[in-house]
Amino acid sequence: MSSEWQDRWEERYASVGRLWSGEPNEHLTDLAAGWRPGHSLDLGCGEGDDVLWLASRGWRAMGVDVSPTAVARLRSRSAERGLTGVEGAVVDLAAEPLPAGPFELVTSFFVHGGPSEGSILLEDVLVQAAARVVARGRLLTAVHCVNPPWHRHHSRSFRPEVLAADVLARLPEGAWEVETCAERWRDVTGPDGEAGRRSDGVVCWRRLS
C-alpha cells in the first residue's frame, strides 16, 4: 500500500525527465574517494547518482528509494553505463526493514523527513542502518543546516554536532566514533536567479568493533 509520502515523491519524479543534476554529491566524492570499496547501501538514493559513482569506483552498490520512478532511473542508467554490481530496490524507509547487508558503507544524502505522519525520522533510520555496518565500516549522511530564503521544501534542518551526538548516543557504547562532523557552506542560485548561501551538515560515524 502506498503512503502519502511515497505518492508525493513519486509524483515529483514522474513529472520530470530528470529531477537531480546527474552528478554525485560532493560530500561523498570528497570523503569516499580514498576508501577501500566493499558493499554499500544508499538510503533515499533518488536517481542514483551516488550509487553509480560508488559502482564506478568498484563498490558493489545498492540504492533504495520510496519512488519506483527514481529506482527505475537508477537501474536504467546503470545498464546504460555497463556498470556491474548495482542494485536498486523500492523501499519505504518509514515502514519497511532496511536491506540486511552487511555493508562497509551506508549513506544517506538529504533525506530529511518531515513532521507529518508517515514521514521518516532520520535519526531512527540511521540507528537502524548502523546495525547493518561491519566493523571498520562507515555510516555517512549529509543534511541541510541553513537554507536560503526561497527554500521551503524540507520541514527539518539539522545541526551536524547535534545529529552526530544524538545518533552516537543510541549506538552500542564504545563501538562507534564520530569521524567527521562539519558544516559546509556553498553558493546557491534561487529559482529567479537570485544569489544565496546554504550550509550542509556532514556527519560520518565509524564502527570500531
Ligand X SMILES: C[S@@+](CC[C@H](N)C(=O)[O-])C[C@H]1O[C@@H](n2cnc3c(N)ncnc32)[C@H](O)[C@@H]1O
Give the footprint of ligand X on residues 13-52 (CB under 6 A).
Answer: 20, 25, 44-46, 49
Find the part of the chain contacting ligand X (CB under 6 A) among 60-68, 75-83, 157-165, 168-176: 60-68
Q: How far apart are CA 188 and CA 56, in angstroms?
A: 28
Q: Is 121 in the site for ligand X (CB under 6 A)?
A: no
Q: Is 93 in the site for ligand X (CB under 6 A)?
A: yes
Cα–Cα distances (Å) from 188 to 29, 48, 49, 151, 185, in that order, read 19, 22, 20, 11, 10
Q: Is 158 in the site for ligand X (CB under 6 A)?
A: no
> Based on CB atoms, which residue is closest to ligand X, 6 or 130?
6
> Based on CB atoms, which residue is closest to ligand X, 5 or 59?
5
> Based on CB atoms, which residue is closest to ligand X, 97 or 174?
97
Locate 188 and state its grid cell: 546557491
Contacts with ligand X: how many residues (CB under 6 A)? 20
Q: Is 5 in the site for ligand X (CB under 6 A)?
A: yes
Q: How far apart are CA 51 and CA 54, in angstroms?
A: 5
Q: How far apart are CA 39 and CA 55, in angstroms?
A: 10
Shortest separation between residue 25's beta carbon and ligand X, angstroms: 5
Strand order in the sheet with 60-65: 86-90, 60-65, 39-43, 103-109, 133-146, 195-207, 176-189
Shortest separation between residue 176's beta carbon and ligand X, angstroms: 23
- Name the 3-class secondary structure at 137: strand
> Based on CB atoms, which residue is closest to ligand X, 120 or 203?
120
Q: Is 106 in the site for ligand X (CB under 6 A)?
A: no
Burial of 18 (0-12, 13-18, 19+ CB in 10 A): exposed
- Name the 3-class secondary structure at 52: helix
Shortest separation between residue 58's beta carbon and ligand X, angstroms: 21
Instruction: Give the interface with ligand X as residue ranges (CB under 6 A).
Output: 5, 9, 20, 25, 44-46, 49, 65-67, 70, 91-94, 109-111, 120
